[in-house]
Structure 1
Amino acid sequence: MFAAERRQLILEMVRANGAVSLRELARVVQTSEVTVRRDVRALEAEGLLDRRHGGAVLPGGFTRESGFPQKSLSATAEKTAIAELAAGLVEEGEAVVVGAGTTTQELARRLARVAGLTVVTNSLLVAQALAHANRVEVVMTGGTLRGSNYALVGSGAEQSLQGLRVSRAFLSGSGLTAERGLSTSNMLSASVDRALVQAASEVVVLADHTKLGTDTMFQTVPTELMTRLVTDEPLAHDDRAGRELQALADQGVQIAVAGTGPAGAGMGTERSFQTGGAHGAGSGPVAGGASGHGPGAGRREGPLPGQRRNRPLRGGGPSTPPTLRSAPPPPTALPEGFR
C-alpha cells in the first residue's frame, strides 16, 4: 500500500470512530506502529488530525464526510433535473467518462437510452445503472473499493486511465467555488477525479446549488479546466451561490441551469449568462427568455470548446456560431433572481 493510500485509510478510520489507537491503525493498514506513528505525525502537520498518547483523534471542528445514504437523500429533485439536462449533451456513439457520486448516478440512468455509447467509470453505482442497457458499453477502472461511495480509487484506478482519451468527463464533488473550482473531502477520490479530467477533451461539472460557495480539502477540477457547469437555480436569497455563478461565468465557464419547478420538473432547461468570459459582448440569453423556459429552451449560444460541429441540446433549436473576440469585454449583470 502506498503512503498516500495508507494515510487516507488512517484518516477515514479516525473520521468514522473519532479516536483510534496506533495499534488498531497498524493492524488495519498492515504495517508497523512505527510507520503508523510517522503517518499520524505527517497528517497532524497538515491539520487533518490530532495526535494523542497511543493514538489519533479528530481535530477540533473537523466535520466528517457524509456517507452515501445521507448524500442520496440530499437535493434529490435538483439532482434529477441536473442529470436530465446533462444527458442532453451526449450524442449517440460517443465515449465519455463518468465519475462517482449520487448526481452522476442519476446521469447514468439517463445515459442508458443513448445508443452506441461507451462509458468509462470508477463508480459501481454508475456501472450498475448502465448494467442492463444493451446499447451501452461500460468500461470500469481497476483500483481499491471505497465503500463509503462505492467507487474504485487508488493507484490501480489511476493507472487504468493512462492513455485514455474521450470526448467528455462528467464529474461531481463536495464543493464548488470560482477560486478553486471543484473539490472533494477525500484525497484518493480527488486523485482519481483528476485522472478522469486528464482523459477528456471537455469537462462538465454537475453540482446542485448546495455545493456552490463550499470549499473542501482536495481540489479536483480547477476553474480554468471546467468547460461547463450544470446546476439548478439557487434560492432567491442565496447571495453566495449567485456570486459564485457570476464569478464562474466571468471566467468563461458555460452555465446551464436546470429547472426544478412545476414547469421544469423532470426535464432540463438552460440559461446562458451574458459575461465577458466565453462569449462576445453582443451575446444574449437563449431563446425562450432569461429564465430558459419556453419553446426555445435548451439551446446554447455556441458549441463547447473543441466540439467538432454545432448541435443543440436535445429538444432545442440550432445553436448559433461562436463569437470571435480579441479581448474580453466587461461582464454584465446576472438575470433577475441571481443578484
Structure 2
Amino acid sequence: MTAVPTALSASAAHIARRRLRARRRVAAYTLALIVTLSGLVVASLAIGSRPLAPTDVLTALLSTTRDTAGVIVHELRLPRTLTALLAGSCLGVAGLLIQAVTRNPLADPGLLGVNAGAALGVVVAIAFFGVGTAGGYVWFAFAGAAGAASLVTAAARPGRRGGTVGLILAGVALSACLGAVVRIITLADDDTFESFRFWAVGSFERRDPDVAAQLLPFAVVGVVIAVLVSRGVDHLQLGSDLARAMGVSPAVVIVAAGTAITLLCATATSAAGPLAFIGLLVAHAVRGVVGTDLRASLPIAALAGAALTLASDVVGRAIALPGEVEAGIVAAFLGAPLLLWLVVRRSS
C-alpha cells in the first residue's frame, strides 16, 4: 500500500525539480537579455556620423545642458533608440502570440495584413495629403494597419471550427489586394514612390521625439491583452474541443489575441515601417529555449525582439559610417541566416 504514495511523491518531486530548473533557465535568459540590451542602448547612443565615447553619452544623459553631445544624444539618438525598443518589443510579443494562435511555425506578424495596411496608409498620406515626415504619417500607418487587421479578423469568422486557417487565408488575400493598390499609386506618382520607398525599407532614422510616446499606450494595451489571453492560448493549442472542456471559448481567445496582435503590429509598423524576420525569428528562438508556456515566454520575447531590432539599427550605422544601412535591410540579413540555423538545429 505504501508503494503508490511513494511513487506519487517521487513524481511530484520530479515535477517540482523540472519547474525549478525551468524558472532558473528563464531567469538566466532574462538577465542575459537585460545586460545585452543595456549594452546595445549605450552603443545606439554612441554610434553615428559623429561617434561619442560611452562616458560622453552618460554625461549627456545625466546633464541638463545642451552642448553638442547633449543635442546629439537627446534630440537625435535617444528618440530613435526608444522607438527601436518599442517596435522590437511589440514585434517579439506579436510574433510569439500569432504563432501560438495559428499553430503555424511560419506565421509572421505581417500575416494579418498589418504591413500591407500600414503601407497603404502611408501611401495615402503622401499622395493625397502631402505628408512627408514620420511623425506626420504615423497615424495614417496605424489606421491602415489596424483597419486591415480588423477586416482579416472579421473575415476569418473565428467562431467556426478552423478559424485560424481562415485567419491565415484572409490575411494573405487582403495583403495581396492592398499591395496591388499600393503599387498602382506609387507607379503613377514618382514623388510618392520616392518618399514611400524610404519608409518601406524599415528605418528609425529621423524619428520625431514624440513618436514613441504617441504609440506607447497602444503597445501597453496590446501587451496587457496578450498576457491576459496567454493562458487561453495555451489551452487552445491542445485543440478546440479540449479547450472548451477546460472552460475556454476559442472564439473569444482568437478575437482577443487578434486584437493584441493588431495593436502590437500596428504600433511597430507605424513607427518603423515593415521589419522582416524580427517576429518570426524571436518566436522560434524563444520557444526553443523556454518552451511552449506562453505566459513565461512573453517577457523574454519582448526583450529579445527589442535587442534584435536595436542591434539591427546599431549594426546598420556601424558598417556604413558616416552614412547608414536601414535597420530593415540589416534585420533581413541577420534574421534569415539565424532563422535557417535554428531550423537546421531543430531538425537535427
TM-score bracket, shorter-length normalisation: under 0.3
TM-score normalised by L of structure 1: 0.25
TM-score normalised by L of structure 2: 0.24
Q: Which has the higher helix share?
A: 2
Of structures 1 and 2, the one with the larger relative CO (CA 8 A, separation 6+) is 2
